[in-house]
A and B are shown apart, each in its own frame.
Chain A
Amino acid sequence: MWKTLRQIARNGIRTEPAPEPDEALRESAERIQRELLAILGQALAIRQVDAGSCNGCELEIHALGNPYYNIEGLGIRFVASPRHADLLLVTGPVSRHMETALRRTYDATPEPRLVVAVGDCGCSGGIFGESYASCGRVANVIPVDVAVAGCPPPPLEILRGILTAVRRGHEGVRALRAGSA
């Protein structure tokens, strides 16, 4: 136990500042949390769906949880059920065999739902393209709000994509409110 505590103390806090969404200035962690609360009234819950990726994108999504990116410290967490999710983070060219599962996951996610497609395959089908076994990009199967390019995109780019989707979702909700007022 002593060794464990000493290792924790010796390493301290390694978390780095979060990236800026691509249409805004640097966001502080508190600001991101405030926005999440304003938009969703809660922390952001993400359901990740691998719809046929090579697992490279999953490695970088996993990295978001490490102490450097500390995604949970921003109030963002990965949940086990689409029914608990605000946002779907989808990787891969959508394989024919995952098409139904992806649609069902999307249908099970409560509105307003956001979808972020991750990786070159999610954006365009990537090197796998469209074929007898692949539906290609995620947008061919479900509506996509933000697509993050890269093979795989590094963790910061994935986080930036998530924050951009949330920001757009925020604007969408505002416009909706302004329209109804």
Chain B
Amino acid sequence: MDFPADLAIDLVPLGAPLPMARGVVDAAQWQAAATSAAESGARLVALWGSDRGAAEGGELAVCAAFAGRGGLAWLDLALPASAPRYPDLSARFPAALRMQRAAADLLGIDAAGAEDRRPWLNHGAWPPSWLPLRREDTAEASSPHGAAGDYAFVRVEGDGVHEIPVGPVHAGIIEPGHFRFSVVGEKVLRLEQRLGYTHKGIERRFTELAPLEAHRLAGRVSGDSTLAFAWAYCMALESAATCTVPPRAAALRALMLERERVANHLGDLGALANDAAFAFGLAQFSRLREDWLRMSRDAFGHRLMMDCVQPGGVAAEPDAATLKRIQMQCDAVEREARLLLSIYEEHAGLQDRFMTTGRVTPELAAELGLAGLAGRASGQAADLRCDHAWAPYDALAVRMATRREGDVAARVAVRFDEVFESLRLTRALCARLPDGPVQADLALPAGAAFGAGWVEGWRGEVFVALELGADASIRRCHCHDPSWQNWPVLEHAVIGNIVPDFPLINKSFNLSYSGQDL
């Protein structure tokens, strides 16, 4: 089985550097495609809705992106405005559930047959009858007020069971979200998350921005993944505008993406030791991370490299001397990280906290669609840099890091492996950086157009679906973070663990709130 080639659907290639294609389906094909995807081991990347407006004929649509060995298929199902219902995907792909609930909150489209229909992104700040992404509503005042309602958490009954509510304001420097633990003594029986607190209307905001400016908004969907989102957005715009990025710009984008990966992994490796009461690890890794961010500032002008990727190319490039310094820093960080790895491995107390904690078996990971770094730590071998190596990764032979244990220790190990691999890639990119321009001309298409971007960010695959209107405006831009897939799996990972291990387990996934709240 070679998904999506074996789908009986006309798929139109989207002209991106990675194999992506879009096809219009009817309800029967929608279901058949989901069945075929599930049987061939393909994964659900994203699900979102769109209001095409009466001018396009379709009015409303629901879209799903599946990825298999042959690439990504964007399926598009038109829905009548009178009865905007589509067949539920969550029975085959549990990760679809929250995405479907979000689409219902934003567009009023409904997954027929889905079990859980509670609101997800709307906490009552706007009335359910007002739909933020409906186009006919644009004349309405931008501040409709609703009333916050009670959320129906699932109750666990039984002798000695009690609930621990946590958040939305957390006890550290963390994003806001609500966790409801049902526990017996210290043992967690159930965790239920309620997210959406940082929902700030990103998807509606996109439609108010010019396509050539909106990469800045994409770069702020989740600040820790600014490179991944900015690149994915630019890839989507470039594919819609049939613009090819010069080789030097592509290499610099990859250089920055690997810098972002290393920066986040260094931060996490320190924080994970700290959560297991080994403060030495935090001191050491946070020092390395600071050195790393300062080099990013010297090389690209911004510590997190925000706005350094722009449509058609990159906004900044390091000079030859800085490239040399980057390579030397890679050597220094590698030396230190290898030493710290041996200290971590030999530290009995640390390993005791890491091993078997927060375990997600490969079987459960496959069933729930665990993505990215956490997925690779549970035997889910997927990494776009290997599976669909696009320029410049096609010349780098990226080695994928995987583990099968699925515990905190495995997620730590994958991070260490990926740091070393990214350091190798960084040195290789610096040594063989192509000459030439770093910016291509990008002419917006004259008519309506579709584009897609797909990038392996540090947390996992980031996907952007872009629809341009006939007037060179953004009609719809959906940014998808792998946190959508992984948050529900965290609810499973914590079952049977003790409450004090939750921060450690949570950190080992390190999921984005902003990236899924949008």
Contact = CB atoms under 8 A, between A and B. Distances in A.
Contacts of B172: 48, 78, 80
B201 A133 contact: yes
A42 interface: no
Interface in A24-39: none
Does more than half of chain B's interface fall in helix, strand or loop, or is it mixed? loop
B173 A78 contact: yes
A96 B280 contact: no
Contacts of A154: 297, 303
A136 to B, nearest CB: 10
Contacts of B304: 56, 59, 152
Interface string B371-413: 0000000000000000000000000000000000000000000
Contact of A97 (B197, B204, B223, B343): B197
B175 A127 contact: no
B205 A97 contact: no
Nearest to A78: B173
A51 B513 CA distance: 12
B512 A67 contact: no
A125 B227 CA distance: 22
Interface string A87-100: 00000110111101
B457 to A, nearest CB: 13
A11 B288 CA distance: 11
A3 interface: yes
B198 interface: yes
B220 interface: yes
Interface string A140-159: 00000000000110100000
A92 B174 CA distance: 12
B491 to A, nearest CB: 20
Given A58-B174, A61-B173, A11 B284 contact: yes
Q: Which of the listed residues A3, A59, A128 has the most CB atoms from chain B within 10 Å of its own CB?
A: A59
Contacts of A129: 205
Please classify how large the interface on chain A is, using the bins under 10, 10 to 19, 20 to 34, 35 or more: 35 or more
Contacts of B200: 52, 92-93, 95, 128, 131, 133-134
Contacts of B171: 80-81
A1 to B, nearest CB: 9
Nearest to B263: A59
B286 A56 contact: no
A80 B170 CA distance: 7
Nearest to A80: B171
Contacts of B290: 63, 66-68
A7 interface: yes
Contacts of A55: 175, 222-224, 512-514
B202 A128 contact: yes
B346 interface: yes
Given A14-B287, A56-B224, A127 B216 contact: yes
B310 interface: no
A53 B175 contact: yes
Contacts of A105: 169
B451 interface: no
B220 A127 contact: yes
7 contacts: A3-B339, A3-B342, A7-B284, A63-B293, A66-B287, A95-B198, A132-B201
Interface of B: 123, 125-126, 130, 132, 142-144, 148, 168-169, 171-176, 196-202, 204-205, 216-217, 220-224, 226, 267, 280, 282-284, 286-287, 289-290, 293, 297, 303-304, 306, 339-340, 342-343, 346-347, 512-514, 517
Interface of A: 3-4, 7-8, 11, 14, 48-63, 65-68, 78, 80-82, 92-93, 95-98, 100-101, 105, 126-134, 151-152, 154
